[in-house]
Amino acid sequence: MDTPLSWIKAFVPDLECTDREFADAMTLSGTKVEGYRRLDKNLEKIVAGKILKIEKHPDADKLIVCQVDVGDFTTQIVTGAPNVKEGDCVPVVLDGGRVAGDHDGGSPENGVKIKAGKLRGIESNGMMCSIEELGSSRDIYPEAPEYGIYILPDDVEPGTDAVKYMGLDDTVFEYEITSNRVDCYSVMGIAREAAATFNLAFRYPEVKETGNDEKCSDYISVEVKDPDLCSRYIARVVKDIKIGESPDWMKKRLRACGIRPINNFVDITNYVMLEYGQPMHAFDYSTIADKKIIVKRAKDGDIFTTLDGVERKLDSEVLMICDGQKEVAIAGIMGGENSMITGDVKTVLFEAATFNGTNVRKSARRVGLRTDASGIFEKGLDPNNAYFAMERACSLVEELGCGTVVGGSVDVHSDLPRPKRIKFEPERINRFLGTDISKEDMIAYLKRVEVEYDPASGDLVCPTFRQDLLGFADTSEEVARFFGYDRIPVTLPSDTESMGRLPFKIRIENLAKDVAESFGFSQGFCYSFESPAVFDKLRLPSDAPERKAITISNPLGIDFSIMRTLPLNGLLTSLSTNFNRKNKDVKLYELGNIYVPESLPLEKLPDERMQFTLGFFGEGDFFSLKGVIEEFLIKAGMNKRPHYDPDSNRPYFHPGRQADISYDGEIIGYMGQIHPLTCKAYDMGKADVYAAVLDMPKIIEKAVFDRKYSGIAKFPAVTRDISMLVPKAVLEGSIEDMIIQRGGKILESCTLFDIYEGNQIHPDFKSMAFTLVFRNKEKTLSDDEVNAAMKKILNGLSSMGIELRS
* Spatial contact of 637 and 719, defined as CB atoms under 8 Å apart: no
Any contact of residue 749 with another protein (CB under 8 A)? Answer: no
Smallest separation (angstroms) from another protein to the CB of 270? 23
Smallest separation (angstroms) from another protein to the CB of 275? 23
Any contact of residue 551 with another protein (CB under 8 A)? Answer: yes
Q: Which of 516, 561, 500, 499 is nearest to 696 (CA)?
A: 516
Any contact of residue 567 with another protein (CB under 8 A)? Answer: no
CA distance 275 to 256: 13
Q: Which is nearer to another protein, 257 or 588 (CB)?
A: 588
167: left (phi over 0), alpha (psi -120 to 50) or beta: left
CA distance 573 to 589: 12
Q: Write the DSSP string, 564-622.
A: -SSSHHHHHHHHHHHHHTT--S-EEEEEEEEEE-SSSS--S--EEEEEEEEEEESS--H
Q: Which is nearer to another protein, 179 or 325 (CB)?
A: 179
Any contact of residue 526 with another protein (CB under 8 A)? Answer: yes
3-class secondary structure, 411: strand
Q: Which is nearer to another protein, 142 or 458 (CB)?
A: 458
- For another protein, the binding residue among 110, 491, 599, 710 (CB under 8 A) is 491
Alpha carbon separation from 344 to 134, 244, 393 (Å, rounded) = 34, 11, 20
How many other CB atoms sit within 10 Å of the CB of residue 360?
29
Footprint (CB under 8 A) of another protein, residues 591-630: 592-593, 595, 601-602, 605-606, 608
Q: Which is nearer to another protein, 366 or 742 (CB)?
A: 366
Smallest separation (angstroms) from another protein to the CB of 357? 7
Q: Which of 702, 683, 517, 549 is nearest to 614 (CA)?
A: 517
Q: Which is nearer to another protein, 535 or 616 (CB)?
A: 616
Amino acid at 711: G
CA distance 770 to 485: 74
- For another protein, the binding residue among 301, 309, 343, 489 (CB under 8 A) is 489
Any contact of residue 148 with another protein (CB under 8 A)? Answer: no
* Spatial contact of 29 and 196, defined as CB atoms under 8 Å apart: yes
Any contact of residue 495 with another protein (CB under 8 A)? Answer: yes
CA distance 654 to 753: 26
Smallest separation (angstroms) from another protein to the CB of 488? 5
Any contact of residue 553 with another protein (CB under 8 A)? Answer: yes
Smallest separation (angstroms) from another protein to the CB of 183? 13
Any contact of residue 717 with another protein (CB under 8 A)? Answer: no
Q: Which is nearer to another protein, 256 or 534 (CB)?
A: 534
Any contact of residue 552 with another protein (CB under 8 A)? Answer: yes
* Spatial contact of 629 and 669, defined as CB atoms under 8 Å apart: yes
Q: Which is nearer to another protein, 583 or 734 (CB)?
A: 583
Which residues, at least 6 apart from 577, have a Cβ–Cβ distance to it below 8 Å?
none
How many other CB atoms sit within 10 Å of the CB of residue 585?
11
- For another protein, the binding residue among 310, 488, 788, 804 (CB under 8 A) is 488
Which residues, at least 6 apart from 231, have a Cβ–Cβ distance to it below 8 Å?
354, 355, 356, 383, 413, 414
Q: Which is nearer to another protein, 347 or 476 (CB)?
A: 476
Name the packing angle between helices 426-433 and 439-448 (round to 10°). Answer: 90
Footprint (CB under 8 A) of another protein, residues 349-368: 357-358, 361
- For another protein, the binding residue among 205, 417, 426, 520 (CB under 8 A) is 520
Footprint (CB under 8 A) of another protein, residues 393-432: 431-432
CA distance 280 to 372: 11
Any contact of residue 339 with another protein (CB under 8 A)? Answer: no
Select the span of 227-235, 444-452, 577-585, 639-647 touching another protein (CB under 8 A): 577-585
Any contact of residue 180 with another protein (CB under 8 A)? Answer: yes
CA distance 410 to 216: 7
Q: Write the DSSP string, 155-194.
A: TSPTT-BHHHHTT-S-EEEEEE--TT-GGGSSHHHHHHHH
Amino acid at 793: I
- For another protein, the binding residue among 588, 668, 730, 739 (CB under 8 A) is 588
Annotate each residue in 445-474 with x if it binds another protein (CB under 8 A) or - if it does not, as one string: -----------------------x--xxxx
Which residues, at least 6 apart from 701, have a Cβ–Cβ distance to it below 8 Å?
none
- For another protein, the binding residue among 415, 486, 783, 784 (CB under 8 A) is 486
- For another protein, the binding residue among 252, 253, 587, 675 (CB under 8 A) is 587
- For another protein, the binding residue among 46, 331, 586, 687 (CB under 8 A) is 586
Any contact of residue 378 with another protein (CB under 8 A)? Answer: yes
Amino acid at 535: F
How many other CB atoms sit within 10 Å of the CB of residue 696?
21
CA atoms 509, 510, 514, 517: torsion sign: positive
Q: Which is nearer to another protein, 505 or 792 (CB)?
A: 505
Any contact of residue 523 with another protein (CB under 8 A)? Answer: yes
Any contact of residue 30 with another protein (CB under 8 A)? Answer: yes
- For another protein, the binding residue among 47, 241, 480, 511 (CB under 8 A) is 480
Any contact of residue 578 with another protein (CB under 8 A)? Answer: yes
Any contact of residue 511 with another protein (CB under 8 A)? Answer: no
* Spatial contact of 652 and 603, defined as CB atoms under 8 Å apart: no
Q: Which is nearer to another protein, 356 or 409 (CB)?
A: 356
Any contact of residue 374 with another protein (CB under 8 A)? Answer: no
Contacts 24+ apart (CB under 8 A), 584-587: 584/618, 585/616, 585/617, 585/618, 585/619, 585/620, 586/616, 586/617, 586/618, 587/519, 587/520, 587/521, 587/522, 587/614, 587/615, 587/616, 587/618, 587/620
Smallest separation (angstroms) from another protein to the CB of 765? 37
Smallest separation (angstroms) from another protein to the CB of 608? 6
CA distance 620 to 560: 32
Q: Going by DSSP bridges, is the β-strand pair 303-305/311-313 parallel, antiparallel, or unpaired?
A: antiparallel
Q: Which is nearer to another protein, 253 or 587 (CB)?
A: 587
Footprint (CB under 8 A) of another protein, residues 220-279: none
Select the span of 23-31, 91-99, 241-249, 281-289 touching another protein (CB under 8 A): 23-31
Select the span of 47-55, 198-206, 504-512, 779-787 touching another protein (CB under 8 A): 504-512
Smallest separation (angstroms) from another protein to the CB of 494? 8
Smallest separation (angstroms) from another protein to the CB of 755? 26
CA distance 785 to 701: 38
Q: Exposed, middle or buried by CB within 10 Å (0-12, 13-18, 19+), for 472?
A: middle
- For another protein, the binding residue among 342, 496, 760, 806 (CB under 8 A) is 496
Select the span of 263-271, 325-333, 451-459, 497-505 touching another protein (CB under 8 A): 497-505
Smallest separation (angstroms) from another protein to the CB of 529? 7
Any contact of residue 371 with another protein (CB under 8 A)? Answer: no
The 8-class DSSP code of residue 680 comes to H
Smallest separation (angstroms) from another protein to the CB of 34? 11
Number of residues that bind another protein (CB under 8 A): 89
